[in-house]
């Protein structure tokens, strides 16, 4: 089993209501899991948000905690509901209403990785799925809720930045032929998970760094934005998707020659986003 459900880095002093989290960058693939999958060590990583934890690891320098997944997405998907059990993979689970994520094999325990490649040759038991949920999903989300509660207590609101990466090919059908592709896609569930003002400020932080930004297409947000995004309660959640080709060789799953420069660029963006929560603190004190 993966060693830990999550890793967290706290700032020396919490100075912002912003929380950064990366639910898909976990890369602890236990030997028992690798023996069970029909995929090789390279293909099993194809749905992983590789190196996103490195891209955002500067967040604590700017007063924000950073929560990172321990287990890999292929083992358990922390950006899914605990109820999203796939009957095509898990024994004893009955099919319910249509859920496009489950239908495509991307439930809480994924059946496939990128491009629909099957992870297993058969099914797994419901008991095994529940062990993964209890051992990894539950602790991760308990910790995430704790961080958001601390934001509310200290700043009167919480802003969650859910950090992801997207395959370059995912953008092929998003833009008109010949038009520039977005580098960043912000997902706020079409305004349901965060206030427009906060999303505008996040978008400006990326745009001012020279990055092209789109909203909600092709990714509007999944479980994390849906569950934690409550702008009416001053709890805002925005999903950030970064084009992987900007910083990594997608086929080899390793940083490319632009990785260090892109990481430096993001440092300024992260500082700007963290300051959104700090501004609210200053305004409340006036």
Question: What is the pairing mode between strands 66-69 and 6-9?
Answer: antiparallel
What is the pLDDT, as a whole number, of residue 99? 86
Q: Span 97-119, mean pLDDT?
A: 92
Q: Are 77 and 69 in contact (CB under 8 A)?
A: no
279 has pLDDT over 70: no
Average pLDDT of the chain is: 93
Q: What confidence category does residue 286 fall into, taking pLDDT thresholds of 50, 70 and 90?
A: very low
What is the pLDDT, as a whole number, of residue 129? 97
* 3-state SS assignment for residue 109: coil
What is the pLDDT, as a whole number, of residue 165? 97
282 has pLDDT over 50: no
% of the chain at pLDDT higher than 90: 87
Start-to-end CA distance of the chain, whole Å, equals 50
Residue 134, C-beta contacts closer than 8 angstroms, at least 6 positions apart: none
42 has pLDDT over 50: yes
86 has pLDDT over 80: yes
Q: Are 221 and 162 in contact (CB under 8 A)?
A: yes
Global pTM reads 0.94
Q: Span 70-77, mean pLDDT?
A: 97
pLDDT tens digits for range 160-196: 999 999 999 887 777 666 678 899 999 999 999 999 9
* 3-state SS assignment for residue 99: coil
Q: Span 98-110, mean pLDDT?
A: 92
- Alpha carbon distance 61, 273 (integer Å): 12
285 has pLDDT over 80: no
- For the residues of 30-66, what is the DSSP string, one character each? -HHHHHH-SS-TTGGGTTS-TTHHHHTTTGGGGT--E
């Amino acid at each position: 089993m993966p060693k830990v459900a999550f890793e967290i880095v706290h700032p020396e002093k919490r100075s912002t209501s912003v929380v950064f989290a990366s639910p898909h960058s976990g890369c602890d693939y236990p030997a028992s899991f690798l023996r069970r999958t029909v995929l090789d060590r390279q293909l099993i990583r194809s749905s992983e948000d590789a190196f996103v934890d490195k891209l955002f690891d500067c967040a604590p320098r700017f007063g924000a905690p950073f929560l990172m997944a321990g287990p890999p997405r292929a083992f358990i998907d922390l950006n899914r509901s605990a109820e999203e059990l796939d009957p095509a993979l898990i024994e004893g689970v009955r099919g319910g209403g249509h859920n496009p994520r489950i239908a495509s094999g991307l439930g809480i325990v994924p059946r496939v990785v990128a491009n629909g490649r099957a992870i297993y040759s058969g099914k797994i038991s419901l008991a095994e799925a529940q062990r993964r949920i209890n051992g990894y999903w539950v602790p991760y989300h308990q910790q995430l809720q704790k961080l958001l509660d601390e934001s509310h207590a200290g700043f009167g609101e919480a802003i969650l930045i859910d950090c992801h990466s997207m395959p370059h090919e995912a953008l092929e059908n998003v833009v008109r032929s010949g038009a520039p592709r977005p580098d960043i896609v912000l997902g706020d569930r079409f305004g349901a998970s965060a206030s427009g003002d906060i999303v505008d400020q996040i978008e400006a932080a990326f745009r001012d760094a020279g990055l092209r930004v789109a909203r909600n297409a092709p990714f509007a947000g999944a479980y994390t934005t849906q569950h934690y995004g409550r702008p009416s309660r001053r709890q805002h959640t925005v999903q950030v998707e970064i084009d992987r080709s900007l910083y990594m060789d997608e086929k080899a799953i390793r940083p490319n020659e632009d990785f260090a420069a892109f990481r430096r660029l993001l440092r300024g963006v992260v500082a700007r986003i963290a300051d959104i929560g700090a501004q609210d603190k200053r305004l409340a004190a006036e």
